[in-house]
């Protein structure tokens, strides 16, 4: 009788071990996605010196489809200022980004409306599970002999699975 209970226990345990991984990956492959909402920090200026003088920067939003076989569809590219107010909606209609393709949007150096806490929200989707795109901002500015440049990587804030 004890051997029977041990057999049933082991069979149940083995079943759970085999089904859990299948359940975890049933909706897609690990590391792949079929859509996301991404927050990308941007800085239309930073502060320098003891008097916190603004140093104006040109901001480039870069969206790169890293999937070599599948397109993705970009639905939202919105630019917000430091207090969270929407400044610009870049898309009226979705844009298809081909495999390994890229898009860029530029905020000119003279445009300081975004402030030091500006950001972009980007939403994309795909019909298949794909490599998620790389979404980053590149900031660059020069003043006299002084130059500065840096990047900031987008952060996923919602995944549609």
Average pLDDT over residues 36-58: 92
Instruction: Note whether 1 and 77 are same-domain residues.
Output: no
C-alpha–C-alpha distance, residues 125 and 156, integer Å? 13
The residue range of the domain holding 87 is 32-159
Band (pLDDT 50/70/90 cuts) for residue 26 is very low
* pLDDT tens, residue by residue, 51-73: 788 999 999 999 999 999 999 99
Please give the tally of structural domains in the chain. Answer: 2
Q: In which band, very low, low, confident or very high, does the pLDDT at 29 lie, cut at 50, 70 and 90?
A: confident
- Answer yes or no: is pLDDT of 14 > 60: no
CATH (domain of 93): 2.60.290.11
Higher confidence at residue 134 or residue 53?
134
Please give the pLDDT value at position 140: 97
Answer yes or no: do 110 and 121 share one domain.
yes
Q: Is 8 helix (H, G, I), strand (E, B) or coil?
A: helix
Q: Which of 141, 129, 123, 121 is nearest to 53 (CA)?
A: 141
Task: Please give the DSSP secondary-structure letter assigned to residue 69.
Answer: S
Residue-level pLDDT at 109: 95
What token pair was written down for 118? 């500006």
Q: What is the pLDDT of residues 104-126, one digit of tens each?
A: 999 999 999 999 999 999 999 99
The pLDDT value given to residue 130: 97
- Residue 144's pLDDT band, with cuts at 50, 70 and 90, is confident
Question: What predicted TM-score, i.e. pTM, was given to this entire model?
Answer: 0.80
Instruction: Label residue 5 by pLDDT band (50, 70, 90).
Output: low
How much is the mean pLDDT over the chain? 88
Closest by CA to 95, choosing from 48, 47, 61, is: 61
143 or 69: whose pLDDT is higher? 69
pLDDT category at 11 given cuts 50, 70, 90 is low
Going by their DSSP bridges, the two strands 95-97 and 146-153 should be labelled as unpaired
- Helix, strand, or coil here: 2? helix
The whole-number pLDDT of residue 25 equals 44
Same domain? 11 vs 56: no
Q: 3: phi > 0 → left, psi -120 to 50 → alpha, else beta; which?
A: alpha
Residues 88 and 127 in one domain: yes
Do residues 25 and 39 both lie within one domain?
A: no
């Amino acid at each position: 009788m004890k051997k029977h209970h041990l057999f049933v226990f082991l069979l149940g345990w083995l079943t759970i071990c085999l089904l859990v991984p299948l359940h975890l990956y049933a909706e897609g492959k690990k590391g792949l996605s079929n859509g996301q909402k991404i927050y990308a920090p941007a800085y239309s200026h930073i502060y320098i010196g003891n008097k916190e003088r603004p140093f104006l920067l040109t901001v480039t939003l870069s969206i790169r489809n890293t999937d070599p076989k599948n397109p993705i569809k970009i639905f939202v590219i919105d630019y917000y200022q430091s207090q969270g107010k929407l400044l610009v909606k870049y898309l009226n209609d979705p844009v298809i980004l081909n495999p390994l393709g890229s898009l860029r949007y530029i905020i000119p150096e003279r445009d300081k409306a975004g402030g030091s806490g500006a950001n972009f929200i980007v939403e994309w989707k795909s019909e298949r599970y794909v490599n998620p795109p790389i979404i980053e901002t590149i900031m660059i500015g020069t003043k006299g002999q002084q130059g500065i440049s840096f990047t900031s990587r987008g952060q996923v804030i919602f995944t549609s699975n």
